[in-house]
Amino acid sequence: MSSADGRQTRTIRTDYLARVEGEGALHVRLRDGEVLEARLEIFEPPRFFEAFLRGRSFDEVPDITARICGICPVAYQMSSARAIEDAFGVEVDGPLRELRRLIYCGEWVESHALHVFMLHAPDFLGYESAIAMARDHRAAVERGLAIKKAGNELIAEIGGREIHPINVRVGGFYRAPRPRELRALVDELERARELALETVRLTGGFEVPDFERDVELVSLSESDRYPIDRGRLVSNHGLDIAPHEFSKAVVEEHVEHSNALYARIRGRGAYLAGPLARFNLNFDRLSSPAREAALEAGVGPRCHNPFQSIVVRAVEILYALDEAIRIIDGYEPPDAPAVALEPRAATGHGWTEAPRGVLYHSYELDDAGRILNAKIVPPTSQNQKSIEEDLLGLVQGMIDAPEEELQLRCEQAIRNYDPCISCATHFLRLHIARE
């Protein structure tokens, strides 16, 4: 319609954006063929957790922070444990480290399988939901559920239960599994591995928009392994830091429209964390089958199209299953289920690669091991700015597209990030306003 000043105006409004983890709000504002603004508005429970962790004992922190997210509790447990161990001057290595990596593989598998099949695939296959997709693509949905179940069972075996594992502690575990308990999982992991390989092929065949962005990619990196449980934080623009340098390198800012803090690299700007960043920065450290499957599916060693993140997630499922089987094959039980800890007054920093990207924790503790201050930076708040920049570029490139197409594409673009809005927000609603 026309406004009083003669400009062409249109308004698109969607009140609820489905198929993201949790809820939030998105506003896109257009005028005269130009995108003025794309804002992601989110509210952030981790900030509440930071407040009520104060005064708690260090050994409660992994179990409390696990409650921030029902999809990636292991990530919260591992990053918090790493940060507190850093404060106490302890490094968890050997079989205990392998066990941590193993349970983390379970989380990558279940979280990625949920996202690929239940949340993101419907966008590519033209369905409004996984329920509608299940009626026509039952085998694919069942495949996703079977892969997810294998991940959940791995978590349950090591963690004591599937969600919010109760066997993880600062310093290691309460009980280390016996080798035969882990070996009993291998058949199912092998079957899931075959399904993951099929998933890479399936997603590699999805039609994706021609859209690339030159954004700074940030992930953990180690010389000999694909990053999951530790590493330095690196980027394709020269970032290379240790955990205690995070707050110097990454600036967090309050913005008026969001309850979450916006992260950017100091002196530069938005960056992208998550599967696409890990994949680009660590391609040569994937397992051989995962690398080969990626190349056959048409991604790698470099991939800068965020819409291909669904393929990369499938590749990471395959890698996590390969890695889990490798760890179980070589598993020797540790002498003790956890290393001894001696609380001291100190500040510690830790990070790990949550399924959605690097998750940073920092804790200041007193000499009795009580929390004085906590800081938690989840991947979704780090990706907020990048999501908004994707939307700006995407909408500008299809500004004359019909409203419905534009709306669906925006939603799909947000889902490229698998935003864990329950980690970073409450409500996600989409408003596109043409002024």
Partner 1 sequence: MSSAGVVVIGVGNAWAGDDAAGLLVARIVRQRAPQEVTVVEHEGEPTALLDAWEGAQLAIVVDAIRTDGKPGRVEVFDATSHELPALWTATSTHAFSVAQAIELGRALGRLPRRLAVVGIEGASFSAGTRPGPAVTAALEPAAGRVLALAGA
Under the criterion CB under 8 A, does residue 125 sit at the interface with partner 1?
no
What distance in Å separates the CA atoms of residue 323 and residue 216, rounded to the nearest whole number? 27
The SS3 call for residue 336 is coil
Of residues 130, 196, 233, 414, which one binds partner 1 by CB under 8 A?
130
Please name which of 399, 427, 415, 418 lies closest in space to residue 12, comparing C-alpha atoms: 399
CB of 121: closest distance to partner 1 in angstroms? 13
- Token pair recorded at residue 70: 């029902």
In the complex with partner 1, the residue whose CB is nearer, 343 or 379, is: 379
Under the criterion CB under 8 A, does residue 131 sit at the interface with partner 1?
yes
In the complex with partner 1, the residue whose CB is nearer, 24 or 300, is: 24
Phi, psi of 176 (to 5 degrees): -90, 135
Phi, psi of 360 (to 5 degrees): -105, 135
What distance in Å separates the CA atoms of residue 51 and residue 148, rounded to the nearest whole number? 33
Of residues 49, 97, 268, 429, which one binds partner 1 by CB under 8 A?
49
- Token pair recorded at residue 165: 């594992």
The SS3 call for residue 358 is strand
CB of 19: closest distance to partner 1 in angstroms? 6
Cβ density class 118-150: b for 16+ within 10 Å, e for less: bbbbbbbbebeebeebbeebeebbebbbebbbb
* Residue range at the interface with partner 1 (CB under 8 A); choices 110-118, 190-198, 354-362, 374-382: 110-118
- Longest alpha-carbon distance in the chain: 77
CB of 225: closest distance to partner 1 in angstroms? 27
- Token pair recorded at residue 328: 């179980």
- Token pair recorded at residue 334: 């540790």
Of residues 29, 39, 56, 64, which one binds partner 1 by CB under 8 A?
64
Under the criterion CB under 8 A, does residue 103 sit at the interface with partner 1?
no
In the complex with partner 1, the residue whose CB is nearer, 137 or 193, is: 137
Under the criterion CB under 8 A, does residue 365 sit at the interface with partner 1?
no
Compose the 247-276 pattern: x for residues touching partner 1 by CB under 8 A, - for all others. ------------------------------
In the complex with partner 1, the residue whose CB is nearer, 48 or 174, is: 48
For 54-185, where are the alpha helices, taking DSSP H only? Answer: 61-65, 73-88, 94-113, 121-125, 130-136, 138-159, 179-183
Cβ atoms 36, 14 nearer than 8 A: no
Under the criterion CB under 8 A, does residue 411 sit at the interface with partner 1?
no
In the complex with partner 1, the residue whose CB is nearer, 23 or 252, is: 23
In the complex with partner 1, the residue whose CB is nearer, 86 or 418, is: 418
- Token pair recorded at residue 13: 């409004």
Of residues 100, 376, 422, 424, which one binds partner 1 by CB under 8 A?
422
DSSP string covering 195-237, please? Answer: HHHHHHHHHHTS---S-----EEEEEE-SSS-SSS--EEEETT
* Residue range at the interface with partner 1 (CB under 8 A); choices 18-26, 83-91, 254-262, 368-376: 18-26
Of residues 5, 135, 207, 367, which one binds partner 1 by CB under 8 A?
135
Under the criterion CB under 8 A, does residue 52 sit at the interface with partner 1?
yes
CB of 145: closest distance to partner 1 in angstroms? 6
Residue for token pair 């040569």: 284
Total residues binding partner 1 (CB under 8 A): 37
186-204 helix and 288-296 helix, angle to the nearest 10 degrees: 20
Footprint on residues 303-362 left by partner 1 (CB under 8 A): none
Under the criterion CB under 8 A, does residue 380 sit at the interface with partner 1?
no
Of residues 119, 185, 263, 294, which one binds partner 1 by CB under 8 A?
119
Under the criterion CB under 8 A, does residue 148 sit at the interface with partner 1?
yes
* Residue range at the interface with partner 1 (CB under 8 A); choices 68-76, 249-257, 309-317, 362-370: 68-76
Under the criterion CB under 8 A, does residue 194 sit at the interface with partner 1?
no
The helix, strand and coil proportions of the chain, stated in percent and rounded to the nearest 5, come to 50, 20, 30
Of residues 97, 149, 191, 285, which one binds partner 1 by CB under 8 A?
149
Phi, psi of 318 (to 5 degrees): -60, -45
- Token pair recorded at residue 1: 């319609």
In the complex with partner 1, the residue whose CB is nearer, 15 or 210, is: 15
Of residues 82, 100, 143, 164, which one binds partner 1 by CB under 8 A?
164
Please name which of 163, 162, 141 lies closest in space to residue 153, comparing C-alpha atoms: 162
- Which residues of this chain interact with partner 1, rule CB under 8 A? 18-23, 45, 48-49, 52, 64, 67-68, 70-71, 73, 110, 114, 118-119, 129-132, 134-135, 138, 141-142, 145, 148-149, 152, 162-164, 422
